[in-house]
Amino acid sequence: MFAAVAVATACLLEAEGGIIVDLHMVEEEACDDEDYILLHGHVAASDWTAHKDEELLPLHPYYWMRQHLSCCGDIIMYTTDEGHLHVVVPTGLLCVVLFNLHSGHQGKNSMMCQFRHSMY
């Protein structure tokens, strides 16, 4: 039954103009995003300065969560305090991901909750 639901969801999403985002697509976009590559390098090497203001500007949003970030190949992952893994989405895919989430949402609060539970 899960497979049937997944296929039906994919068909509906594509019919509404959405694009199914898979890990391969995230990897491709990650390799083309200069800020993501910079962040990946810092995360992989644990190469953070002692103060946020000493970091390059694109790294500022991630500074306070740096202990929760890890790399899985070319993809950056965020681990919650509960141990749940989330994909850090490259900037170039954010609009696509938000469109996909919005196309199936049950209101703004539900959509934002779904977003927070699936990615960072």
**Domain edges within the chain:** 19-118
Q: Whole-angstrom Cα distance, residue 14 to residue 8?
A: 10
Is the CA virtual torsion 34, 35, 41, 47 positive or negative? positive
Q: Any idea what DSSP says for residue 46?
A: T
To the question of pTM greater than 0.75 for the whole model, the response is: no
Give the contacts of 38 (CB within 8 A, at least 6 positions apart).
Answer: 56, 58, 59
Lowest mean pLDDT among 60-64, 96-100, 115-119: 115-119
Provide the CB-side half-sphere exposure for 112 (13 A, CA).
3
Q: Indicate if the pLDDT at residue 59 is higher than 80.
A: yes
When pLDDT is averaged across residues 10-29 and rounded to a whole number, the result is 71
Q: What is the pLDDT of residue 94?
A: 84
Q: Indicate if the pLDDT at residue 41 is higher than 90.
A: yes
**Residue 43 phi, psi (nearest 5):** -65, -45
Q: Indicate if the pLDDT at residue 8 is higher than 90.
A: no
- The 10s digit of each residue's pLDDT in 68-99 is 999 999 999 999 999 999 999 999 888 887 77
- The 10s digit of each residue's pLDDT in 101-114 is 766 655 566 666 66
Please report which confidence band the pLDDT of residue 29 belongs to, taking 50, 70 and 90 as the band edges.
very high
Please report which confidence band the pLDDT of residue 52 belongs to, taking 50, 70 and 90 as the band edges.
very high
Q: Is 39 exposed, middle or buried, given 0-12, 13-18 or 19+ CB atoms closer than 10 A?
A: buried
Q: What is the pLDDT of residue 95?
A: 81
User: Contact, 69 vs 76, CB < 8 A?
Assistant: yes
